[in-house]
Chain A
Amino acid sequence: AQSVAQPEDQVNVAEGNPLTVKCTYSVSGNPYLFWYVQYPNRGLQFLLKYITGDNLVKGSYGFEAEFNKSQTSFHLKKPSALVSDSALYFCAVRDLSNYQLIWGAGTKLIIKP
Chain B
Amino acid sequence: ETGVTQTPRHLVMGMTNKKSLKCEQHLGHNAMYWYKQSAKKPLELMFVYNFKEQTENNSVPSRFSPECPNSSHLFLHLHTLQPEDSALYLCASSQGNGETQYFGPGTRLLVL
- Residues of A near any B CB (own CB < 8 A): 4, 9, 32, 34, 36, 41-46, 49, 90, 94, 98-106
Determine whether the beta carbon of B1 is less than 8 Å from that of A94.
no
Determine whether the beta carbon of A34 is less than 8 Å from that of B42.
no
Determine whether the beta carbon of A100 is less than 8 Å from that of B45.
yes
Which A residues touch B97, using CB under 8 A? Answer: 99
Which A residues touch B56, using CB under 8 A? Answer: 98, 100
Determine whether the beta carbon of B98 is less than 8 Å from that of A99.
yes
Closest chain B residue to A49, Cβ basis: B100
Q: How large is the interface on B (under 10, 10 to 19, 20 to 34, 35 or more residues)?
A: 20 to 34
Determine whether the beta carbon of B101 is less than 8 Å from that of A94.
no
- Residues of B near any A CB (own CB < 8 A): 1, 4, 6, 40-43, 45, 48, 56, 90, 92, 97-98, 100-106
Partner of B105, one of A4, A42, A94, A102: A42
Which A residues touch B101, using CB under 8 A? Answer: 44, 46, 101
Shortest Cβ gap from B101 to chain A (Å): 7
Shortest Cβ gap from B45 to chain A (Å): 6
Determine whether the beta carbon of B102 is less than 8 Å from that of A101.
no
CA distance A98 to B6 in the complex (A): 26
CA distance A81 to B89 in the complex (A): 30
